Structure 1
């Protein structure tokens, strides 16, 4: 039977079984248009002619939100849009459901009646089940060629996408589409008890495979990737998830179809959620559902790797961390994600395995085909699909050049960073996860200038217990040996919201709101627990504590009282204490620029948080793409603020470090050293390039150049251009 005939027969059967006067199927085309593919009750001439955009009309609203609509008076709904060619003005009641496949909306299925009525829950459930069948037809290509428009997705032309760099490195290889989902061919069960038993057996096997994964010998025994995998064990025992699947089976679906229905429902409901924690939880559940379906179909949760190319680059909307471990590491060259964030579980595990990752590559799954040539640049987030020969050749050379440069940087690893004219510079690294620590030795960093303690909280399902915090901090100190480590106290709030933290306010300007030290002082129990864990972990060593987002000196005094209370508590009960406790503050709020002398006198050290300080000084959200490149970090106002800070630190003998993105960019790092900031903390990968530039530079000459420009009223971009010319003239590698 031809696809069109099959679809026409399906809508006719639905209309008869639901006593509906209209039944219609709209398919979502590659260009984002919903096209009427089949109908009973509407004007048949409208098929393949009637079209709606995503979000347009009731059908477009359903597709955009992936949520059903059940209306007794459809024409009174604010989203209703009349299409004269369809003749649907006669019909009042309306039930529409999204056609979903693995959580992705492929179209909309609609029934309508002239009478005013609200369709029952059983009818809505039945329509959703039928929509699953139609979703399979669309996804497997059964409807290909029905559209009179002839619009198809072009899978041959080169595509370049600028995403987000998530894990360092460059990978050249061929696409492996991450399609863990099993195609469900049997939707309706004949024996409910037997299907429930199959589900129970598959769940037991799934839990065993997760236990085996945790016991693998090729992953480090400690680290955040272990915590990530532990969450899978917890989710696999989630009673709510299991109950929803069992309910779907009792409603007549097979075990596989029940798993898929619950999975699609959850993904559709969370499709519009922007909270990164909740989206990460959805990815975890997606992973488990996919693994569970493979258990049901084949009894094996890990079927990958048998036909994997030797240069595989995984392309996925998103994926669970455990799914990544199903692929053989020696064949992976990179990962491309349509979603993903630096704290995504899969990214954390990828970094632990040394795999380049680029995220934010929207639409890449739809545009890719297995076996396509692809390049993933984890350094700047670029993804090149089916690249032109010249692009491929350029990246191959880039990989070779990177290998040569990395070899040069490795040779510099043990050299002290001293400029050509004798200026000593301390190069430290930023960290926040245990997987970062091996790079202390690899990069040649002289210590950790910023350890972001909040990352442990962001990847956890609940507040990390004091014992877990203490273990992490002790591991960091042991890895550092005799090198200094500066721990920043918990910096949550703003864009780092913990969903399990109750009573977090909904703020219009979270970056300027209840965050960092402000939150810690208002919830001293959090700070006390963390400080106690840090003090115990640093027993017999020096402990450097840094307070973030300080706005006024009273906040330092208040935090110091809390810290000293914990020191006394541990001393009273005989616990070991640090040999020395150094308390510092981050300078990232401009108000402190007008109180620099008192600031330098009140703390043991100061760190400039250049990212926040710059955005607050320029009133420019650094995450806003519209203004991200509008202001120059080497502008005269910002450089004068940095110079004044360095001069104040020198007057008081207070150690000063800058930790922020500009420290890791060679040109800006040279400018910072010339201003008198001779301790820089950056990403580990940036240490080699920055050190190479410093070794070749005459800092005194550069200082004279910058000072002259600042004192003669240079325009905003003059200084940057002058430093670039200085670098080029003196053949300084940047």
Structure 2
């Protein structure tokens, strides 16, 4: 393993270098099986509060730990846009990647401060640093108290525009956060996390129980299930796959489901049964052309017909959408809008592909800005086309979870955002202090700029107009 790891670290392609993390994940799991511990980390006794420091880690490996005790994750490799960091933030765990040589500087039991907001790690901090951090935490708790006071207030702008705020979820614990945050529903339920923590492919009944429990706990709030999205850096440890030169653009997500229809059919069957006599909302990930959506939808129609023949009660209503994550689909958007019930923009992958920039590569993670005129123009075009067609559109990537970016999304025409649970309060505070009319008028001057980004300009607008960001 060390020899292969050394050779992979010399590969010039950054995405292939990132696959070292997958190798480490598989190697650690194999070692656990060989020494008789099927889940070597799951049973480890952890202190009440612990910060996990590692060379690298996959999302499935993170979920092996008792994340109720994790207070931070620090990785020598990877970036803040890697999937493990996204999962950590979804659990409200601060995560810092690309912390060079941190393992050689930290001893077990050392006190650490992890500032996920600013990507900083303080090792054995002095008294001044501790006091400053305690003060920062106190201010953070005060802000959280302010956000909590907004829980039952509507997300309506100063000029009366209503904005829907939903959360991204993927674990049973997220259902508690749905209620605590006051969100309108779940705009993205990542079904692959069930597959990533299971010992083998979950069967129809295991999936049905989980999906039914989610719908039960969500009560009358909408839940949008995303069908299985594995591949890239989301590895199933029990599934042997051949190596790919570029996994992010390889065999993943809907491509796997269409090429292995039994996997898709079992999941659709479980979702249909879970939503018996209730509304079922689902979407297919990484659709690159309309033909892929139509093929996936055909399998859904077959399963609905089959379940009816077997005597299972069907959903009372269902909505089927597509995730807009591949730039090629933007060119087919008029044709797609005739087929779908809704669109969900997945900004993480969409802009990775748009800029040909591996989001797991720390050298590139800050190179391109989501608030560039190019991105804002693209998003405005998508929102306008969906509005003209009468098709609901939302955005469920990390972009929606940051107040300044969320403000820009609203200015570009989005009225439905799906964010991390911890971001609901800050986003609602921003919305309730915003005038959409003034923002839209200002942003009309930004779309044709040839600058790298509009971040400073939008920040100045927010400051001048009293928008809380």
Deviation, 1:423, is: 1.3
Q: Equivalents in 1 of 2:112, 2:35: separation in Å?
A: 24
CA gap 1:327/1:725 in 2 versus in 1, 3 angstroms: same
- 2:219 is aligned with 1:448: no
Q: Equivalents in 1 of 2:129, 2:277: separation in Å?
A: 54
- 2:14 maps to none
- 1:581 maps to 318
- 2:454 maps to 719
1:35-65: per-residue Cα shift (whole Å, max 9, x none)? xxxxxxxxxxxxxxxxxxxxxxxxxxx9x64
CA contact (8 A) 1:429 1:449 kept: yes
Highest relative contact order (Cα 8 Å, sep 6+), 1 or 2? 2
- 2:444 is aligned with 1:707: yes
Matches within 5 A, 1:294-309: none
Q: Equivalents in 2 of 1:274, 1:373: separation in Å?
A: 29
- 2:23 maps to 275
- 2:241 is aligned with 1:493: no
Deviation, 1:716, is: 2.8
Deviation, 1:550, is: 0.8
Deviation, 1:733, is: 2.3
CA contact (8 A) 2:21 2:56 kept: no
CA gap 1:372/1:519 in 2 versus in 1, 3 angstroms: closer
- 1:551 maps to 288
CA contact (8 A) 2:58 2:233 kept: no
Q: Equivalents in 2 of 1:530, 1:479: separation in Å?
A: 20
CA gap 1:558/1:475 in 2 versus in 1, 3 angstroms: same
CA contact (8 A) 1:588 1:613 kept: yes
CA contact (8 A) 2:25 2:61 kept: no
- 2:97 is aligned with 1:360: no
Q: Equivalents in 1 of 2:350, 2:247: separation in Å?
A: 15
Q: Equivalents in 2 of 1:397, 1:704: separation in Å?
A: 39
Q: Equivalents in 2 of 1:277, 1:66: separation in Å?
A: 14
Matches within 5 A, 1:69-468: 274-275=22-23, 277-282=25-30, 284=32, 320-323=41-44, 326-327=45-46, 329=48, 332=49, 334-339=50-55, 341=57, 343-345=59-61, 347=63, 349-351=65-67, 353=68, 355-361=70-76, 364=102, 366-369=104-107, 372-377=110-115, 382-468=120-206
- 2:464 is aligned with 1:729: yes
CA gap 1:470/1:280 in 2 versus in 1, 3 angstroms: farther
Q: Equivalents in 2 of 1:722, 1:66: separation in Å?
A: 47
Q: Equivalents in 2 of 1:534, 1:598: separation in Å?
A: 27
TM-score (norm: length of structure 1) = 0.56
TM-score (norm: length of structure 2) = 0.86
Q: Equivalents in 1 of 2:4, 2:310: separation in Å?
A: 58
Q: Equivalents in 2 of 1:582, 1:396: separation in Å?
A: 47
Aligned partner (choices 463, 473, 477) of residue 215 of structure 2: 477
1:583-627: per-residue Cα shift (whole Å, max 9, x none)? 100111111211222211210000001111111111111111111
CA contact (8 A) 1:286 1:320 kept: no
Computing the radius of gyration from Cα coordinates, the structure with the larger value is: 1
Provide the aligned length of Structure 1 versus Structure 2.
432
Q: Equivalents in 2 of 1:66, 1:509: separation in Å?
A: 18
Q: Equivalents in 1 of 2:269, 2:46: separation in Å?
A: 41
Q: Equivalents in 2 of 1:345, 1:718: separation in Å?
A: 36
CA gap 1:372/1:525 in 2 versus in 1, 3 angstroms: closer
CA contact (8 A) 1:657 1:680 kept: yes
Unmatched segments (≥5 aa) in structure 1: 1-61, 68-271, 292-317
1:194-230: per-residue Cα shift (whole Å, max 9, x none)? xxxxxxxxxxxxxxxxxxxxxxxxxxxxxxxxxxxxx
CA contact (8 A) 1:635 1:717 kept: yes
Q: Give the match's secondary structure for 2:338.
A: helix
CA contact (8 A) 1:336 1:383 kept: no
CA contact (8 A) 1:280 1:344 kept: no
Unmatched segments (≥5 aa) in structure 2: 6-19, 77-99
Q: Equivalents in 2 of 1:614, 1:374: separation in Å?
A: 33
Deviation, 1:366, is: 4.8
Moved more, 371-380 or 573-582: 371-380
- 1:662 maps to 399
CA contact (8 A) 2:59 2:234 kept: no
